[in-house]
C-alpha cells in the first residue's frame, strides 16, 4: 500500500486508501451501511507530517434502505493519516 515519494512521504492515493479502508472496517461494529462514499478533500498539514483526508458518505440501517422517502444527509469525516507510516491517527466529524 505504501507508495512513498522521494521525501519519505506516502502519496495521496495511499493516504486516501488508508482512510477508506479504516472507514469501511467500522460498519461491522455498528448496525449501518456506508453508501455513496466520495473523496471530498485532501490536504497536507502545515508541518507536512499528516495527510488530512475528508470522506463524505450516506449511512443507512436495514430498515431505512427500503424507504425512498427518507431524506438522506451526507456525513463527512476527516482522517489524519501519518504521512510517513500511512497509519490512521484520528477520525473526526467534519463540521460544515
> Based on the structure, what is the number of domains in the chain?
1
**Interval 11-27 mean pLDDT:** 93
Q: If we measure between CA atoms, which residue out of 43, 45, 72 comes closest to residue 57? A: 72
Residue 7 lies in a domain: no
Asked whether the predicted pLDDT for residue 53 surpasses 90, the reply is yes
- At residue 48, the pLDDT reads 96
Encode pLDDT of 68-85 as tens digits: 666 678 899 999 999 999
Supply the range of the domain harboring residue 28: 12-93
Number of CB atoms found within 10 A of residue 85's CB: 12
The answer as to whether 17 is a domain residue is: yes
pLDDT at 20 over 80: yes
69 vs 48: CA distance, rounded Å: 44
Region 33-60 average pLDDT: 94
Q: Are 82 and 89 in contact (CB under 8 A)?
A: yes
Amino acid at each position: 500500500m505504501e507508495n512513498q515519494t522521494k521525501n519519505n512521504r506516502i502519496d495521496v492515493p495511499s493516504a486516501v486508501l488508508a482512510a477508506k479502508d479504516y472507514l469501511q472496517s467500522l460498519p461491522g461494529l455498528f448496525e449501518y451501511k456506508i453508501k455513496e462514499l466520495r473523496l471530498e478533500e485532501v490536504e497536507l498539514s502545515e508541518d507536512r507530517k499528516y495527510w488530512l483526508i475528508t470522506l463524505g458518505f450516506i449511512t443507512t440501517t436495514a430498515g431505512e434502505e427500503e424507504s425512498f422517502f427518507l431524506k438522506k444527509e451526507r456525513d463527512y469525516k476527516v482522517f489524519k493519516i501519518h504521512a510517513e507510516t500511512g497509519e490512521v491517527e484520528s477520525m473526526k466529524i467534519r463540521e460544515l
